[in-house]
Amino acid sequence: MSEIDRLRLIRTPGIGPITWRQLIARFGDAARALEALPDLARRGGGKAPTLPDPRTIEREMKQVASLGARYLFLGDADYPPLLAELENAPPAIVVRGDGALARRPTVAIVGARNASAAACRFARELAHDLAREGAAVVSGLARGIDTAAHMGAGPATIAVIAGGIDVAYPPENAALQERIAEEALLIAEMPPGTEPRARHFPHRNRIIAGIAAGTVIVEAAPKSGSLITARLANEAGREVMAVPGSPLDPRAQGCNLLIREGAILVQNAADVLEQIRPIDPRAVRAPGASFGSAPPADADDAARLALTGLLGPVPVMVDELVRQSGLAPAVVQIVLLELELAGRLERHAGARVSLI
C-alpha cells in the first residue's frame, strides 16, 4: 500500500484507529478506502469527510525523513507486535532509533512526576536490572519516575512522547530525549511539530501499555495518569504490577490501591520477569495478516434501520448490538462504520458506541 494513501486516511478528520483498521480490512488498501469514503458517509446519513491534500502529506513525510525518523505502519512486519494487538493500535507511529527494541520482552515503568527520591532510585535500579536481563523498558519521558526508568535502562529504553517526534517535553528532558533517539528508541504518534496537549497524553499512555507485556507503577496518586496506564494495560490483558509504599505518603496511595485490587506486588526485577516471561512478542500474530481478506457483504437498509433503532446517547457494547439485532458481526460493523464516517456515531472505551 502507498504510504501517502495510508497517511491520508489516518489524517482524515473523524477517522480514528479503529475506523482506519476496519476500512483497511474491508477494502484491502488505503486507496480503495479513500475512494469509498463519500459513499459510506452518504449511507450513514452525513457528508463525506474532507480528505487531506496529498501535497500536505508529502510535506509531512519529507519532514519526518529530514529529522532522521521513519514511519512504522500497522500491518508492517516491523511494527511492534504486542502494540498491534490493541483494538485501537495507532495506524502509524513515527520512530527514531532501534526499532528492534520494541520486539524484545518489554516492561513499562511509570509513576508520579513529583516522585520521592527513594521511588526514583527504585525505578532506576529496577530498570537497570531488567535491561541487564535482556528486557526493554518503556516509559513516557515525564519528570520523576519516567525519567528515572529511562536513565536506569540506558540503551535498552523506549520513550513514547505525546507530541511530535521533534518536540521535546518537558523541556528539561530535551537532551535525554535526543540521547534516547540516537542510542535507543523514541516513538511518537502525532505528526511532527505537534505540541503536546492534555488530550494527547491518554493516547500516549495506551501505546506505553500496549507495547509492554506488563506495566509497573512505582508511585502514583489515586487519580494520576499512571493509573490510567495501569487500567489500559489491564484492558489489554497485560500484567499490572505495583510497588507498595507507606500509607502515610499520598504518592503511594494509588499503588497500594492497585495491589488491594489484585495487581502483582513488586519488590525487585525477578518479580517482574516472573510475570512477563510467558509472553513472547515474536509469537504474537499482528492483525495486519487479515488486512487483505475479502470484504464482508454490504448492509441493507433494514439492517441500518434496526441498528439505528437500538442506538442512543447512552454507550452500548457492540457485542450487545450483535445479540439484540441478530445481524452478523460484519454487518453490524459496517453500519457502525457508516454512521461514524457520517459524524453520527461516537466510540467509547470498552468497545462501546453511542449516537451523537
Burial of 92 (0-12, 13-18, 19+ CB in 10 A): buried
Beta carbons of 341 and 44 less than 8 angstroms apart: yes
Cell numbers given for 90? 495507532
Give me 300's grid cell: 441493507
pLDDT digits (tens, 9 = 90+) for 254-282: 999 999 999 999 999 999 999 987 554 44
pLDDT tens, position by position, 11-40:
998 899 999 998 998 898 999 999 999 998
Q: Which residues contact 346 (CB under 8 A, 6 or more apart)?
A: 315, 340, 353, 354, 355, 356
Helix ranges (DSSP H) in 67-116: 81-84
- Residues 71 and 64 sit within 8 Å (Cβ to Cβ): yes
| Cα–Cα distance, 322 to 330 (Å, whole number) | 9
Instruction: Write the burial class of residue 338 (CB in 10 Å: 0-12 exposed, 13-18 middle, 19+ buried).
Output: buried
The CATH architecture to which 81-283 belongs is 3-Layer(aba) Sandwich (3.40)
Architecture of domain 3-66+296-355: Orthogonal Bundle (1.10)
Range list for CATH 3.40.50.450 in the chain:
81-283
**What's the one-letter identity of residue 30?**
A
Q: Would you say residue 253 has pLDDT above 60?
A: yes
Rounded CA separation 333/339 (Å): 10
Long-range CB pairs of 174-182 (<8 Å, 24+ gap) are 176/141, 176/147, 176/150, 176/151, 177/141, 180/97, 180/141, 180/150, 181/68, 181/96, 181/97, 182/96, 182/97
Query: How high is the pLDDT of residue 281?
Result: 46
CATH 1.10.10.10 residue spans of the chain: 3-66+296-355
Q: Tell me the three cell numbers of residue 115.
A: 516522585
Question: According to the model, what pLDDT value does residue 303 have?
Answer: 85
Confidence of residue 340 (pLDDT cuts 50, 70, 90): confident
Rounded distance, CA 356 to CA 354, Å? 6
Q: What values do phi and psi take at 187, rounded to 5?
A: -125, 135
CA distances to 72, 77, 164, 286 from 36, in Å = 24, 27, 30, 25
Alpha carbons 146 and 208: distance in angstroms, whole number = 11
Could you read off the pLDDT of 63-122 as tens digits, one per residue? 999 999 999 999 998 999 999 999 899 999 999 999 999 999 999 999 999 999 999 999
CA dihedral 200, 204, 206, 209 (to 10 degrees): -160
Long-range contacts of 283-287 (CB under 8 A, 24+ apart): 284/81, 284/82, 284/84, 284/85, 285/81, 286/74, 286/75, 286/77, 286/79, 286/81, 286/84, 286/85, 287/21, 287/74, 287/75, 287/84, 287/85, 287/89
**What's the rounded Cα separation, in Å, for the pair 71 and 179?**
19
Strand partners, 348: 352
pLDDT at 337: 87
pTM for the model stands at 0.86
DSSP, collapsed to helix, strand or coil, labels residue 226 as helix
C-alpha to C-alpha distance for 205 and 139, rounded to whole angstroms: 9
- Render pLDDT for 199-221 as a digit per residue (tens, 0 to 9): 999 999 999 999 999 999 999 98
Q: Give yes or no for residue 329 having a pLDDT over 90.
A: no
